[in-house]
A and B are shown apart, each in its own frame.
Chain A
Amino acid sequence: MTNQFLAAKKQLPNLGIGLGLRRELANDTFDNANKIDWLELVPENYMGLGGAARQRLEKVASRFPLVSHGVNLSLGSTDELNAEYLAALKKLLDKVDAPWFSDHLCFTSVDGVYLHDLLPLPFSKEAVKHCAKRAQQVQHAVGRPFLIENISAYMFMPGGEMTEAQFLSSVLEEGDCGMLLDVNNVYVNSQNHNFDPFEFLKQIPLERTVQIHVAGHSTGEGTIIDTHGSKVIEPVFQLLKFVLERTDVKAVMIERDQNFPEFSELIGELARIREIAAEVQPTLASVGRGHLSFESSAPIIESSKGRENVGAALTA
């Protein structure tokens, strides 16, 4: 186990308060650029693609700092790491000069089949070793700091030997990588699996947190689902505050992947995050890009055909 990552974290830029780039939100995102410090893109929606995707990428790259958040690295899969994927990812990250990249602590493929969802891993020693080793390989192959995100999981997998907090901590420390902490996922899991989310946060190496995701989830009876399709609720903001009080982070953002609201609602959520940050971590809140003067340009024309990869579960 090494702590090289913690030293590297100090060198990472402070990005501020950002938003997930989605094609449905792209034009509003440009129109509100002075309220958004940075953007996170899902690399699978841009790797090796032309047309509107490329146009959008070029436009955002010229206007926002970008980081990448993958959904199909399949860190926990027992399949070999996909060399084609890693090469395409590296090319994209080099192009946009992302200061770091991230993916999920999950598997998305097995025996060559992609399931296109973020699937939970058994909390086993074997899985810790496997994911930690692959995290190092990925970080080496891509040549940029790698962050691992905790997922929402709706079942425990057989073969578990430890708690989620122990599993996440072990992978981060053995892999010596950073954490993308999704406080909504912590909340969703705490509700579905009946634990105290604040206690969970105390048990994981918060000092490795570089970036935080804030999002909404489904509500109602039974299992709640991490849909990224509704408003962020106050308890999730409270988890964010709890983390910001305890460790320096470089970037916080809203994820919204479906059931898109008026853009002003998202701007309101960004303002709420900025307000929390101003209170407990002012350097994060004050990144602000100011009122940049952009050259006027035509809106991006998007097709609704096909689907973008997103990290949220879609619900009917």
Chain B
Amino acid sequence: MLAPPSLHEVEQTLSSLWLKESVRESFLKGEGNVSPRIAANIDKSGVELYATLLEYGQQDLMASIYPYCAKILKKKWEPTVREYFLAYPPNHYNLNRAAQRFPTYLKSEGSHFLKKYPFLVELADYEWLEMELLEVDDEVKPQPNLVLSKPDHFIQFAPLLNPVLLLRQYEYPISEIVEKLDGKKSISGIKPRSSRVAIYRHPLTNHCKYLDVGEIAFEVIQASIDVPHSYSDLISLAVSRSTNSDPQKTVVEFLDLVEKLQEIQVFIGSTKIA
């Protein structure tokens, strides 16, 4: 008489049957490596039902987080999701985190897609970041904005950067691709073109915002990420990077930029540093 299967053996075997199509198909055909003491007591229709439920959950999750990748890959999307979950099975109790490594998967396993859609890894990253920032456990408390009315203000104060913000520099114009997909326009012929994006969570709405930024704005925001830099230091940075021959014009543009970034809550106030 066969000994009863252990709890671990049952959990491991059934999980494998539910999650792995190849293992499941072999088993359903009466082949494969399922231990006879388990195989004889497995309800095959139950295996198929749980496999369907689990896959539905995976597909639903991925479609909600990567709608643009799904739009691009069309019929190839669902098999790609299946392959992704086999390659990167979820390892965290937070459901949404199961989708986190999709850009990594595309980078390492998606070469067949990347020939046709070389921007796909960047697009997936762009889509994931929204999810990541929506959940970040960081409280954003906007501070009153300082009116830079005295010369001392420029030296003594620094802009306070929204802490729920990430910067990305992409090789492709990802925002433009997203816009085209939204407008149901063709994305064929998209050429590489450097683009820079600030992605942040708005403290009042908790929604994520994508902001396309130029090179200088990118550097100004980046400089403010780790350590607050005074307005005066940031002006110096902007002037040094600017191709504009008139520094005064650059300063005016910088002040406009600061105002804009404050308005949209990329800068959430000012902090005294000296």
Which residues of A come within 8 Å of B, CB atoms?
Answer: 44, 47-55, 72, 76-78, 82, 85, 107, 109-117, 119, 121-122, 124, 126-127, 130, 154-161, 223, 225, 301-309, 313-316
Contact = CB atoms under 8 A, between A and B. Distances in A.
8 contacts: A44-B93, A51-B133, A51-B164, A114-B93, A117-B53, A121-B7, A156-B41, A158-B41
A117 B136 contact: no
A157 B50 contact: no
Contact of A154 (B13, B49, B95): B49
Given A48-B137, A55-B206, A314-B56, 8 more contacts: A47-B94, A50-B136, A51-B136, A115-B54, A116-B61, A117-B53, A121-B7, A159-B5
Contacts of A48: 94, 137
Contacts of A52: 134, 206
A183 B186 CA distance: 52
A306 B92 contact: no
Contacts of B64: 304-307
B96 interface: yes
A223 B10 CA distance: 23
A155 B54 CA distance: 14
Nearest to A51: B206
Contacts of B207: 301, 303
A78 B8 contact: yes
Interface stretch (B14-22, B105-113, B212-220, B231-239): B14-22
A110 B10 CA distance: 10
Nearest to B208: A303
Contacts of A157: 10, 14
Most chain A CB neighbours (cut-off 10 Å) among B40, B49, B95: B95
B12 A116 contact: no
What 10 A-B pairs are tightest by C-beta distance, nearest first? A155-B46, A158-B41, A72-B93, A78-B8, A52-B206, A306-B96, A50-B137, A113-B89, A155-B43, A114-B90
A116 B134 contact: no
A219 to B, nearest CB: 16
B171 interface: no
Interface string B116-142: 000000000000001101111111000
B49 A155 contact: yes
B137 A306 contact: no
| Interface of B: prevailing SS | helix
Contact of A119 (B8, B50, B99, B130): B50
B53 A44 contact: no
A107 B38 CA distance: 18
B11 A223 contact: no
A160 B53 CA distance: 23
A61 to B, nearest CB: 15
A300 to B, nearest CB: 8
Contacts of A307: 60-61, 64, 95-96
A174 to B, nearest CB: 15
B243 interface: no
Interface in B1-42: 4-8, 10-15, 18-19, 37-38, 40-42
A115 B95 contact: no
B182 to A, nearest CB: 15
A304 B130 CA distance: 11
Nearest to A315: B56
B51 to A, nearest CB: 11
A110 B137 CA distance: 27
A115 B18 contact: yes
B19 A115 contact: yes
A133 to B, nearest CB: 12
A107 B4 contact: no
B10 A159 contact: yes
B7 A124 contact: yes
Given A113-B15, A301-B205, A306 B131 contact: yes
A239 B24 CA distance: 37
B206 A110 contact: no
A42 B91 CA distance: 19
Contacts of A160: 41
Nearest to B6: A126
Nearest to A50: B137
Contacts of B91: 112-114
Contacts of B18: 115, 119
Contact of A306 (B4, B6, B14, B65): B65
A158 B12 CA distance: 12
B201 interface: yes
Contacts of B56: 314-316
A262 to B, nearest CB: 23
B134 A51 contact: yes
B178 to A, nearest CB: 14
B181 interface: no
Contacts of B15: 110-111, 113, 115, 119
A28 B53 CA distance: 29
Contacts of A305: 64-65, 130-131, 134, 208
A314 B50 contact: no
B201 A119 contact: no
Contacts of A127: 7
Contact of A161 (B4, B38, B95, B99): B4
B38 A159 contact: yes
A53 B11 CA distance: 32
B47 interface: yes
